[in-house]
């Protein structure tokens, strides 16, 4: 799982030509669709709707097939996220360590629901189902950096949203 800092957040939606350029080096791969989607998200922070027809045409797939693949993976987003992405684990081990309460408090203090972004665009909060960090639950991940034994205070501090 990776969620690299998007390089191109400032720019608006990429054009079809932009997308073609990003994926051009990947056309020779076997099963190139997923690597292409990763490349687009890495560059733009999300996979825009405009990518669907471009990839379908390039790989000679149905547009629906491309949509099906994108929507299957929760990590592909169709609009840009906040400047930081906070993922809070909701799987069993973290729940047993009070993760549900940590999540609820964090969401409440940030004033967002799951998948929501704070009004200032600083943080997007997403659920994740197991980070493999069960021994250090409740666990979370901020922009790809793992955090163990978290509580709401720490999460807010890490995101710079303060107390």
Partner 1 sequence: MKDFIIPQFAPGDERDMGTPARHGPPVCLTIDGVQVTVPEGTSVMRAAMMAEVQIPKLCASDNLEAFGSCRLCVVEIEGRRGTPASCTTPVAEGMVVRTQTDKIRKLRRGVMELYVSDHPLDCLTCAANGDCELQDAAGQVGLRDVRYTPGANHFDVSGQGARSQAEARLRGGHDNPLFIPKDDSNPYFTYDPSKCIVCSRCVRACEEVQGTFALTIEGRGFDSRVAVAGENFLASDCVSCGACVQACPTATLQEKSVAALGTPTRSVITTCAYCGVGCSFKAEMNGDTLVRMVPWKNGKANRGHSCVKGRFAYGYAAHKDRILSPMIRDSIDEPWREVAWDEALAFAARRMHAIQERHGRRSVGVITSSRCTNEETYLVQKLTRAVFGNNNTDTCARVCHSPTGYGLGKTFGTSAGTQDFDSVEQTDVVLIIGANPTDGHPVFASRLKKRLRAGARLIVVDPRRTDIVRSAHVEADHHLPLRPGTNVAVVSAMAHVIVTEGLMDEAYIRDRCDWDEFQHYAEFIADPRHAPEAVEALTGVPAADLRAAARLFATGGNGAIYYGLGVTEHSQGSTTVMAIANLAMLTGNIGRPGVGVNPLRGQNNVQGACDMGSFPHELPGYRHVKLPDVRAIFEAAWGVKIDPEPGLRIPNMLDAAVEGTFKGLYCQGEDILQSDPDTHHVAAGLKAMECVIVHDLFLNETANYAHVFLPGSSFLEKDGTFTNAERRINRVRRVMAPRNGYEDWEVTQMLANALLKETGRAGWHYTHPSQIMDEIAATTPSFAGVSYERLEELGSVQWPCNEAAPQGTPLMHVDGFQAGRGHFMITEYVATDERTGPRFPLLLTTGRILSQYNVGAQTRRTENSIWHDQDVLEIHPHDAEVRGVNEGDWVRLASRAGETTLRAVLTDRVSPGVVYTTFHHPMTQANVVTTDFSDWATNCPEYKVTAVQVSPSNGPSDWQRDYQAQAERSRRVLSAAE
**Which residues form the interface with partner 1 (CB under 8 A)?**
52-53, 56, 60-68, 71-72, 74, 112-116
136 in a labelled binding site: no
CB of 21 to partner 1, least distance (A): 21
Question: In the complex with partner 1, which residue's Cβ is closer, 56 or 136?
Answer: 56
Question: In the complex with partner 1, which residue's Cβ is closer, 68 or 132?
Answer: 68
CB of 80 to partner 1, least distance (A): 13
94 in a labelled binding site: yes
Q: Which residues pair with 88 in a beta bridge?
A: 127, 140
Geometric angle at alpha carbon 112, from 110 and 118, rounded to 5°: 65
152: which residues sit within 8 A by CB, 6+ positions away? 102, 105, 106, 109
CB of 104 to partner 1, least distance (A): 14
CA 161 – CA 157 distance, rounded (Å): 6
SS3 breakdown of the chain: % helix, strand, coil, rounded to 5? 40, 10, 45
130 in a labelled binding site: yes
CB of 64 to partner 1, least distance (A): 4
Binding site residues, as ranges?
A: 89, 94, 130, 134
């Amino acid at each position: 799982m990776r969620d690299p800092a998007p390089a191109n957040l400032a720019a608006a939606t990429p054009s079809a030509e932009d997308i073609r350029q990003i994926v051009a080096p990947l056309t020779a791969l076997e099963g190139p669709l997923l690597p292409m989607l990763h490349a687009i998200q890495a560059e733009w922070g999300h996979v825009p709707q405009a990518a669907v027809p471009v990839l379908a045409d390039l790989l000679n797939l149905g547009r629906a097939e491309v949509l099906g693949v994108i929507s299957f993976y929760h990590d592909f987003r169709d609009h840009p996220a906040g400047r930081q992405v906070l993922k809070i684990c909701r799987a069993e081990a973290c729940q047993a360590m009070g993760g549900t309460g940590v999540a609820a408090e964090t969401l409440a203090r940030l004033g967002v629901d799951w998948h929501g972004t704070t009004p200032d665009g600083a943080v997007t909060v997403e659920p994740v189902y197991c980070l493999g960090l069960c021994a250090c639950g409740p666990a979370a991940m901020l922009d790809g950096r793992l955090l163990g034994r978290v509580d709401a205070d720490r999460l807010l501090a890490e995101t710079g949203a303060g107390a």
